[in-house]
């Protein structure tokens, strides 16, 4: 792993998610965070694409305090509450007609786990119990629970748990990542058609096998069609997040995928945990990249509560809502803290701030500026990084730079990261230089062993000056890592 950045001043009793003890934050305002050691750092990635309006917004602080004074907690199987009802109405009303019902959870993995169970409940309620298969995609991430790890395909995150994952029900097709996987002799249209055909072939391959096994063992009913597709394509796949680094689909991809789902009666499901709730400069990522297609089920999380609270939501189309309402009429899944009044009140306030301060427009404007600065600085003929820049891509307030140190080329000097990798080394160096970004390794091949990318997802209210500060600190850090690795 990469070397430890700044250590905590005192011994920690937390089992951290990093091989080092992360520095301790003591206060935060907007995109700035003050650390225990006295340093002030700038957060260019909103934590993990979460803090979409930064820290300490007075409107959200007030909403949380007011809610604590009003109703702090009620249990969702006994009582509903006003902020939850209002937030659900907001999400349905702003969904451009795509959604009919909503349910709350406490984060992204719970939202995707709920999507899996809700999809199954839908087919169970309508009597298509032979539908038991999920199709996800390689190089994707849907959460860290066992079912979401099975559904997605993130080699590094699956590795320790591989023997616990369900490979009988969860299947995978290729990623939609043109810059890496479209063949040189293919047009974009032909690439999309190849992916569409691969999905359809997967349906056909799974169909008879799965249905026969399931049908004879459990249901003893003639199968109709046995494949249920989960395609989390818009941020989980309309734009793939951390795994490959803000990778949008080729044009026409979602339309093609949906056409296969429609043909076989499967559900079309989008994971917008990272890409949704404004991150791309539109409320939903499918508004930017969906080819006019809307999902049957969708998960959102991070930007919903903006980091002020722990919350996620599942949005249901009329098809799914009707299927469940007409039968059981309620969700056969849930958690103690779902629809928490404080979480919902804070999320409503976050959404009000995004709307009243016109932050989606600012996200688009400052995001475009960020990308132009990244491109011009990193690709300038005088930049030592230029030969290694593979792609600068993104939309709204969500951008990534992908580097390529693996493919040999005469203009690339030799480098040796001494057992580390550029992505994580740059993340650590940025932190030393007072900047939070995310750096990753392994998004360039299906095995997850090649490619380095860095991700930027600042608050939607980031300013022009802050964007310049982010790019300065990032370029300096990346150059420092590179200069140490040159051989
Ligand atoms: C696309 C996607 N789905 C699901 C998750 C899981 O969300 P959480 O970490 O809130 O459980 C993430 C987290 O990064 C994500 O990016």
Asked whether the beta carbons of 429 and 329 are under 8 A apart, the reply is: no
Determine the pLDDT at residue 172: 92
Taking the centre of ligand 1 as the mean of its atom positions, its distance from the CA of residue 110, in whole angstroms, is 9
Indicate if the pLDDT at residue 230 is higher than 50: no
Taking the centre of ligand 1 as the mean of its atom positions, its distance from the CA of residue 87, in whole angstroms, is 21
For residue 64, give both structure tokens: 């949380």
Angstrom distance (rounded) from CA 318 to CA 206? 27
DSSP-derived 3-state class of residue 445 = coil
Determine the pLDDT at residue 224: 40
CA dihedral 253, 370, 472, 390 (to 10 degrees): 30
For residue 80, give both structure tokens: 């509903």
Tens digit of each residue's pLDDT (9 = 90 or more) over 405-430: 999 999 999 999 999 999 999 999 99
Determine the pLDDT at residue 214: 27
Q: From the CB of 108, is ligand 1 less than 6 Å away? A: yes
Element housing 298 (H / E): strand 297-300
- Check the CA dihedral 394-458-462-400 and report its sign: negative
What is the average per-residue pLDDT within 429-455? 96
What is the average per-residue pLDDT within 62-66? 98
Tokens 């062993």 -> residue: 449
Taking the centre of ligand 1 as the mean of its atom positions, its distance from the CA of residue 38, in whole angstroms, is 31
Taking the centre of ligand 1 as the mean of its atom positions, its distance from the CA of residue 47, in whole angstroms, is 12
Angstrom distance (rounded) from CA 466 to CA 367? 12
Pairing between strand 101-105 and 398-403?
unpaired
Half-sphere exposure of 69 (CA within 13 A, CB side): 6
Does domain 59-356 fall under CATH 3.40.640.10? My reply is yes
Determine the pLDDT at residue 206: 84
Determine whether 487 is exposed, middle or buried from the number of CB atoms within 10 Å of its CB (0-12, 13-18, 19+): exposed
Domain residue extents for the chain: 25-56+358-485, 59-356
For residue 129, give both structure tokens: 């119990």
Indicate if the pLDDT at residue 232 is higher than 70: no
Asked whether the beta carbons of 6 and 23 are under 8 A apart, the reply is: yes
What is the average per-residue pLDDT within 358-383? 98
Angstrom distance (rounded) from CA 34 to CA 40? 4
Determine the pLDDT at residue 11: 85
- Confidence band, pLDDT 50/70/90 cuts, at residue 207: confident
Q: From the CB of 271, is ligand 1 less than 6 Å away? A: yes
Query: In 10 A of CB 161, how many CB atoms?
Result: 12
Angstrom distance (rounded) from CA 137 to CA 170? 10
Determine the pLDDT at residue 234: 35
Determine the pLDDT at residue 223: 41
- Confidence band, pLDDT 50/70/90 cuts, at residue 237: low
Rg (CA), the chain: 23
- Confidence band, pLDDT 50/70/90 cuts, at residue 166: very high
Percent of the chain with pLDDT over 70: 92
**Hey, what CATH class is 25-56+358-485 in?**
alpha beta
Q: From the CB of 273, is ligand 1 less than 6 Å away? A: yes
Q: From the CB of 241, is ligand 1 less than 6 Å away? A: yes
Indicate if the pLDDT at residue 449 is higher than 90: yes
Q: Whose CA is nearest to atom 8 of ligand 1?
A: 108
Count the helices and strands in the chain (H runs, E runs).
16, 14
What is the average per-residue pLDDT within 310-320? 97
Q: Which of 286, 302, 303, 314 to mutate to test the pocket of ligand 1 (most atoms within 8 A of CB)?
A: 302
Indicate if the pLDDT at residue 175 is higher than 50: yes
Among the atoms of ligand 1, which is closest to the Cα of residue 274? 16
- For the chain, give the mean pLDDT: 91
Q: From the CB of 236, is ligand 1 less than 6 Å away? A: yes
Q: Within its chain, how far is the Cα of 435 from the centroid? A: 21
Q: In degrees, to the nearest 5, what angle opens at C-alpha 438 toward C-alphas 191 and 390?
A: 40
Q: Whose CA is nearest to atom 9 of ligand 1?
A: 108
Determine the pLDDT at residue 226: 39
Q: Which of 47, 235, 273 to mutate to test the pocket of ligand 1 (most atoms within 8 A of CB)?
A: 273
Taking the centre of ligand 1 as the mean of its atom positions, its distance from the CA of residue 311, in whole angstroms, is 12
Q: Is 194 left (phi over 0), alpha (psi -120 to 50) or beta?
A: alpha
Q: From the CB of 109, is ligand 1 less than 6 Å away? A: yes
Determine the pLDDT at residue 463: 98
Helices (H), 215-311: 253-264, 285-289, 302-305
| More confident site: 214 or 361 | 361
Angstrom distance (rounded) from CA 99 to CA 172? 27
């Amino acid at each position: 792993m990469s070397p430890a950045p700044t250590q905590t001043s005192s011994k920690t009793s937390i089992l951290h998610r990093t091989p080092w003890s992360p520095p301790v934050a003591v206060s935060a305002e907007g995109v700035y965070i003050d650390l225990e050691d006295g340093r002030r750092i700038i957060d260019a990635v909103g934590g993990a694409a979460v803090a979409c309006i930064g820290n300490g917004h007075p409107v959200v602080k007030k909403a949380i305090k007011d809610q604590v004074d009003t109703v702090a907690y009620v249990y969702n199987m006994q009582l509903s509450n006003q902020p939850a009802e209002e937030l659900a109405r907001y999400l349905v009303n702003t969904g451009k007609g795509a959604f009919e019902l909503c349910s709350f959870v406490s984060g992204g993995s719970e939202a995707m786990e709920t999507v899996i169970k809700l999809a199954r409940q839908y087919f169970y309620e309508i009597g298509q119990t032979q539908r038991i298969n999920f199709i996800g995609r390689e190089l994707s991430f849907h959460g860290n629970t066992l079912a979401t790890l099975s559904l997605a395909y993130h080699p590094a995150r699956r590795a320790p748990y591989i023997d616990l994952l369900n490979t009988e029900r969860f299947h995978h097709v290729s990623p939609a990542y043109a810059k890496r996987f479209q063949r040189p002799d293919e047009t974009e249209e032909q690439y999309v058609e190849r992916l569409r055909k691969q999905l359809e072939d997967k349906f056909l391959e799974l169909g008879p096998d799965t249905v026969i096994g399931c049908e004879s063992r459990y249901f003893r009913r003639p199968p109709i069609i046995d494949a249920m597709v989960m395609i989390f394509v818009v941020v989980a796949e309309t734009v793939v997040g951390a795994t490959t680094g803000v990778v949008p689909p080729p044009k026409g991809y979602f339309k093609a995928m949906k056409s296969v789902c429609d043909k076989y009666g499967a559900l079309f499901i989008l994971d917008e945990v990272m890409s949704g709730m404004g991150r791309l400069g539109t409320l939903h990522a499918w508004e930017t990249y969906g080819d006019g297609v809307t999902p049957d089920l969708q998960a959102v999380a991070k930007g919903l509560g903006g980091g002020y609270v722990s919350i996620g939501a599942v949005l249901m189309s009329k098809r799914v809502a009707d299927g469940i309402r007409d039968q059981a009429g309620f969700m056969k899944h849930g958690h103690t803290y779902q629809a928490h009044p404080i979480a919902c009140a804070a999320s409503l306030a976050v959404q009000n701030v995004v709307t009243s301060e016109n932050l989606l427009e600012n996200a688009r404007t400052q995001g475009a500026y960020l990308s132009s600065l990244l491109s011009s600085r990193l690709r300038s003929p005088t930049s030592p990084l230029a030969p290694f820049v593979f792609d600068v891509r993104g939309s709204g307030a969500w951008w990534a730079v992908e580097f390529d140190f693996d493919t040999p080329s005469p203009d690339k000097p030799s480098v040796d990261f001494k057992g580390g990798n550029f992505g994580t080394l740059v993340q650590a160096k940025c932190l030393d230089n007072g900047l939070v970004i995310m750096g990753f390794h392994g998004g360039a091949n299906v095995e997850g062993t090649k490619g380095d990318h860095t991700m930027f997802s600042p608050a939607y209210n980031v300013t022009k000056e802050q964007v310049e500060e982010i790019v300065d600190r990032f370029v300096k850090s990346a150059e420092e890592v590179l200069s140490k690795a040159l051989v």
